[in-house]
Amino acid sequence: MSNIKKLAAFLLSVVSLSSCSLLTPNNEFTWATSKCGPKGYPLEILSGTLYFKDEDVGLSLASGSVNGIWGDSFAGTSSVEAKLPDRFDITFYSYAENQSYRGEFDLPYDKILALFQWGEKNATRIANEKRPVFSEFVVGIAPGGTVAIWLFGQNEQREIFFGKAEKINLVLDYVFDVPFGNDEKGEQFRLRVLEKDVGAERLKEFEANNIHYDVLQRYRKLYHWQMELSVAAKFDDISMGFVNGERFDLNERNGLDYKIPQHLHVPANMFFRVNNKPYVLRFDDYETIEAFEALDAIEGLTEEEKIIRIEITPRVPRETSTVRLYNAKHSIELKKTVFKPSAK
């Protein structure tokens, strides 16, 4: 190699290294936090912090109530440019149980770093989307002490943590930041807030201790299923959200071909195109989970016969479209799935 070529190669390597350092100096990235909770269970975050790697400071979660969609980002904080977190703590309160929880957890830092770096260094994604793939930590809390964290980004959300916090005893004066004076007044306040949120019928269920602690385990179960259309056409641009809070495209980059049965979680929402027409639909989580469980429980089937098919019949107007689940033995039409009348 000539001296000129050697010099050019050296300068190119310096520029490349400098570019990388500008992208992620000291492994610092721009990120934020948000929160969520499951449908039908009012909860309150009292405090929470995601700590910068090897530091005793970090980015705090927004305190207060969570929304009612598991995995759906709510009440996000302002972004910071900082090290990624390697641990976090959280204290929260469950109205339905009248119980507080606290947990301190380590996070899979190397996995988190790899996901952020992939987004930063993928030139095509940067050019097309103008930002890193992952940019937000979504923290979910649920009855029984369940805690989950997802990484959210452009068209994607991936679970990186799932654990359980411990029960702790906190007086309601502290939980609600109100000087009740005695436990009875605090309990009356809790019940008024709970009834306003969920209604009298649901409140009776809670008072009878009818709390479905297993719901999040049901959300996380994998099934062998496949998408299909009832018409002679094909899906394009399939993007799907799942009841466990994850969200990603069904495409080659993710190693997923909708024409081939996959082991995935139960779907929660979906965007797709058929004959260049866009469709957006929202499944009812509980109805869909129950349908999957019913089909999966049928005995005497081969693995091929047991595969669950999600058949969509796209129509115009879009809101008249339908969905059914079936295998070789049984068919279930979903009644609560909602197709939006229009989509971008």
- Residue 15 belongs to a domain: no
- Residue 13 belongs to a domain: no
pLDDT tens for each residue of 10-57? 334 433 333 343 344 568 999 999 999 988 889 999 999 999 999 999
Domain boundary among 153, 179, 214: 214
Residues 112 and 191 in one domain: yes
Average pLDDT, the chain: 86
pLDDT tens for each residue of 308-331? 999 999 999 999 999 999 999 999
- H helical segments located in the chain: 3-23, 109-121, 123-129, 172-176, 183-198, 200-207, 215-219, 285-296, 303-306
Q: Residue 156's pLDDT band (boundaries 50, 70, 90)?
A: confident
pLDDT tens for each residue of 51-77? 999 999 999 999 999 977 888 888 888
Residues 6+ apart with CB under 8 A from 115: 133, 134, 151, 158, 160
Domain boundary among 184, 214, 244: 214
pLDDT tens for each residue of 157-187? 999 999 999 999 999 999 999 998 888 999 9
- Produce one character per residue of 197-207: b if its CB has 16 or more CB atoms within 10 Å, e if not: bbeeebbeebe
Range of the domain at 334: 221-339
Residues 163 and 54 in one domain: yes
Residues 39 and 178 in one domain: yes
Give this prediction's pTM: 0.81
Domain boundary among 199, 214, 229: 214
